[in-house]
Amino acid sequence: MMPDLGKYALEVNSSYAMSLLALAVITGLYVRRSRAVKRALAAQEAAQDA
């Protein structure tokens, strides 16, 4: 059920879309980089223990 946004629908929707996209991008970036580092560290530790 979409609320009736009247004549400002474009403004409201675009700012929600943009903000959510920005938050999603930064979250995705952080999670991805953190996973990559975690994996690299695990590999390094395993290699050094062996």
Check: CB of residue 14 under 8 Å from CB of residue 22. Answer: no
Helices and strands counted in the chain (H then E)? 1, 0
- Residue 48 touches another protein, criterion: CB under 8 A: yes
- Residue 14 touches another protein, criterion: CB under 8 A: yes
Closest approach of Cβ 32 to another protein, in Å?
10
What is the sign, positive or negative, of the torsion defined by CA atoms of 6, 9, 11, 12? positive
Binding site for another protein (CB under 8 A): 1, 3-9, 11-12, 14-16, 18-20, 22-23, 25-27, 29-31, 33-34, 37-38, 40-41, 44-45, 47-48
